[in-house]
């Protein structure tokens, strides 16, 4: 949970900007987007497998340079 304490003499716009940064850094926005729709376990596994393949391919390319 993100908590934001408004500072003395801080405008609402500045507080909102700080709040948005806190939410972005904490990953809440990304989590909400991910949970917006139900995703089947097979789709989750497929996405993880593809991510791992891309990562290994990238590591192989970096090792050959």
pLDDT tens-digit map of 14-46? 999 999 999 999 999 999 999 999 999 999 999
Q: What is the pLDDT of residue 7?
A: 93
Enter the pTM of the model: 0.58
- Rounded mean pLDDT, 9-14: 95
Query: pLDDT category, 62, cuts 50, 70, 90?
Result: confident
Proportion of the chain in helix, strand, coil states, percent, rounded to 5:
70, 0, 30
Burial class (CB in 10 A: 0-12, 13-18, 19+), 64: exposed
For residue 17, give both structure tokens: 């900007």
Per-residue model confidence (pLDDT) at position 21: 95
């Amino acid at each position: 949970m993100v908590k934001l304490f408004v500072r003395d003499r801080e405008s609402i716009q500045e507080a909102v900007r700080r709040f948005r940064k806190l939410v972005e850094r904490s990953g809440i926005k990304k989590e909400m987007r991910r949970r917006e729709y139900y995703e089947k376990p097979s789709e989750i596994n497929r996405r993880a497998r593809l991510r791992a393949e891309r990562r290994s391919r990238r590591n192989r390319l970096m090792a050959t340079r």
